[in-house]
Structure 1
Amino acid sequence: MTLLIAGLALWYVGHFWKRALPGAHANMGQRAKGISAIMILISVVFMVIGYRMTESYDLHTLPSALRHVNNLLVLFALYFMSPGPSKGAIFYKMRHPMLTGFIIWAVAHIMVNPDLASMVLFGALTVWAVLEITVINRAEPDWQPNPKGAIAKDAMFFVASIVLLVIIGYIHGLIGPSPFGA
């Protein structure tokens, strides 16, 4: 669990140090972006290895039907993380579609993974995304939405999200539990 928590801490630092230490970040210029990217990449490696190494146990049992709810939520998460909401006609006024999609993804994974390691990982990532939204809103209060796009863009990105869900689900089943069942 130590490596998992270290990865989460590095994830937070990699994302928040720009706003927490703006002077130091500005003094580094373009190198700061590279350092952030390296910290975030290392944090993901730490989280994956730490999660897989952690001996964990289920805190409670879940109905198997939640797997279908999870898959539907992940589909919407993929759509929100696509360019669809900002280029389409339905969600174009949404300020943080990617972070909203990230929250949906993390909560969906909490729903179907009742073990302690999953609660720590996905819970901390959910908290991070909520904090990120709060920090961005405070730092940039005068945000304006993109112009309204076409409903065809929404449909195109939703279909792409379905295809991506199938691909990700297949790969997920190769390296871990299949989200689509046995």
Structure 2
Amino acid sequence: MLLIILGLALWIGAHFLKRLAPDLRARMGNSGKAVLGVMIVLGVVLMIIGYRGAEYVELWPKVQALVGINNLLMVFAFYLYAASGMKTAITRKIRHPQLTAIKTWAVAHLLVNGDLASLVLFGGLLAWAVVQVILVNRADRNWVRPAPVPMSREVMAVVGALVVTGIVMGIHNWLGVQPWG
């Protein structure tokens, strides 16, 4: 559990630095990007190792009916992430599609994982994404909606989301976690 918490601390610290300590971040210059990148990668590695090694402490039972909802939410999360880069139609409605993707991903995982390690990991990342949206919105209250883009980008984002979902489900299966229920 300690590794999960340390990983979250590195992830959150690296992501919040720009918003909470902009002068420090500015003084770090371009080399600061590398430092923050290493912090983020190390944080992810620690979260994964910590999660895989955490003792299972059930807080609520798994509800089989929620597995399908989890999977649909995961497709939507991957779509949001793809849409953020491609500036599809949904980015004209959702200001922070990547952070919304993280929140969707976290909620989906909390629906089907009722253990303490999952609550700490996914709940921690959900809380980070919520606070990050608040901080970004406070720093820049004016949102300029992206211009409309061709429907082909929408199709590419949906296809990309389905492909990535299949790959991630395959990786979960390979790791011994059955994402299909």
TM range, smaller chain: over 0.9
* 1:124-139 correspondence to structure 2 within 5 Å: 124-139=124-139
TM-score, reference length from structure 2 = 0.94
Aligned twin of 1:110: 110
Q: How many residues align?
A: 181
Letter in 2 for 1:36: L
Note the alpha carbon deviations across 1:43-84, whole angstroms, 9 max, x for none: 111111111111122212132121111000000000000036
Letter in 1 for 2:169: G
Letter in 2 for 1:124: G
Contact 1:110 1:118 in 2 (8 A): yes
Aligned twin of 1:178: 178
Distance 2:13 2:63 in 1: 36
| Aligned residues with identical type, % of pairs | 43
* 1:66-81 correspondence to structure 2 within 5 Å: 66-81=66-81
* 1:124-163 correspondence to structure 2 within 5 Å: 124-163=124-163
Unpaired segments ≥5 residues, structure 2 = none
Aligned twin of 2:25: 25
Cα distance, 1:150 vs structure 2: 2.5
Q: What CA RMSD, in Å, does the superposition of the two structures yield over aligned residues? A: 1.5
TM-score, reference length from structure 1 = 0.93
Unpaired segments ≥5 residues, structure 1 = none
Cα distance, 1:148 vs structure 2: 1.2
Aligned twin of 1:59: 59
